[in-house]
């Protein structure tokens, strides 16, 4: 299996975390911003994507773009989607909730007014985390899993990565919601995920250097303990 994206976490990272969580063998192709701008890398993927965008997954004869399609393909293939349609519907619900927060944070990284708007964004995000925490208490399977007791799904992966994204953006915010914080830290200390996120195989930045925020290692969270 081969996952292609930039040398950054962003839209490819949840797929990568799913592969690491399940110990699945894969190759990661990191396209440099320079090679993308020159058009060389774009030309290579043009025929396999409608809008010439990344990430892209190659699994034997299957070639997929659109990060959400990739995640759902991997979830089904790696048994991270639940077994019944009721479980899968809850996985989707939690996953979509996390994805909304994720996309909103991803766009905010690129806001030219990021630094001026950071406090206001932090206050709005705190309100969302308050609601998210109540939602977790209501639907969780156990203290460390959103949908299935003792078992991770795509929803946990997306939620953990989204909460991690907020750590450098609003220092101390996620820690103010102990149940969400515990869920997130447990995920990032689990099996293959633990080793991967502490290794130099993980991209050093959340996004590429042209962003207003999260394109530098000091603006990106790193697990060290």
Ligand X SMILES: N[C@@H](CCC(=O)N[C@@H](CS)C(=O)NCC(=O)O)C(=O)O
Chain residues binding ligand X by CB under 6 A are 10-11, 53-55, 66-68
Q: Cβ 195 to ligand X, closest distance in Å?
A: 26
C-alpha distances out from residue 85 to 82, 90, 91, 108, 167, Å: 8, 9, 10, 34, 33
Residues 142/223/196/104 CA torsion (nearest 10 deg): 70
Q: Tell me how far apart the alpha carbons of residues 212 and 31 are, in angstroms, rounded to a whole number.
A: 20
* CB nearer ligand X, residue 110 or residue 135: 110
* CB nearer ligand X, residue 67 or residue 205: 67
Residue 99 and residue 70 in contact, taking contact as beta carbons nearer than 8 Å: no
* CB nearer ligand X, residue 77 or residue 198: 77
Q: Cβ 134 to ligand X, closest distance in Å?
A: 28
Q: Tell me how far apart the alpha carbons of residues 225 and 222 are, in angstroms, rounded to a whole number.
A: 9
Q: Tell me how far apart the alpha carbons of residues 88 and 71 are, in angstroms, rounded to a whole number.
A: 13
* CB nearer ligand X, residue 155 or residue 211: 211
* CB nearer ligand X, residue 143 or residue 209: 209
Closest CA relative to residue 153, chosen from 89, 98, 79, 103? 79
In the sheet that 2-6 helps form, which strands lie side by side, from edge to edge?
Answer: 27-31, 2-6, 56-59, 62-65
Q: DSSP code of 100?
A: H
Q: What are phi and psi of 109, to 5 degrees?
A: -55, -30
Q: Cβ 98 to ligand X, closest distance in Å?
A: 14
Q: Cβ 70 to ligand X, closest distance in Å?
A: 7
Q: Cβ 120 to ligand X, closest distance in Å?
A: 24
* CB nearer ligand X, residue 87 or residue 219: 219
Q: Cβ 123 to ligand X, closest distance in Å?
A: 27
């Amino acid at each position: 299996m081969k996952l292609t994206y930039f040398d950054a976490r962003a839209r490819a990272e949840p797929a990568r975390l799913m592969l690491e969580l399940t110990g699945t063998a894969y190759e990661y192709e990191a396209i440099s911003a320079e090679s993308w701008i020159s058009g060389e890398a774009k030309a290579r993927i043009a025929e396999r994507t409608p809008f010439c965008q990344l990430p892209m997954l190659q699994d034997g004869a299957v070639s997929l773009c659109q990060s959400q399609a990739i995640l759902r393909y991997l979830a089904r293939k790696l048994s991270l989607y639940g077994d019944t349609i009721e479980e899968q519907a809850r996985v989707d619900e939690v996953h979509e909730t996390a994805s909304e927060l994720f996309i909103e944070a991803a766009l905010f990284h690129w806001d030219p007014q990021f630094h001026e708007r950071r406090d206001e964004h932090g206050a709005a995000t705190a309100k969302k985390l308050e609601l998210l925490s109540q939602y977790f208490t209501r639907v969780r399977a156990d203290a460390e899993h959103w949908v299935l007791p003792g078992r991770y799904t795509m929803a946990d992966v997306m939620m953990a990565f989204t909460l991690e994204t907020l750590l450098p953006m609003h220092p101390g915010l996620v820690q103010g919601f102990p149940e969400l914080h515990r869920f997130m830290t447990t995920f990032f200390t689990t099996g293959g995920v633990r080793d991967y996120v502490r290794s130099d195989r993980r991209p050093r930045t959340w996004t590429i250097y042209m962003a207003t925020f999260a394109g530098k290692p000091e603006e990106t969270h790193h697990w060290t303990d």
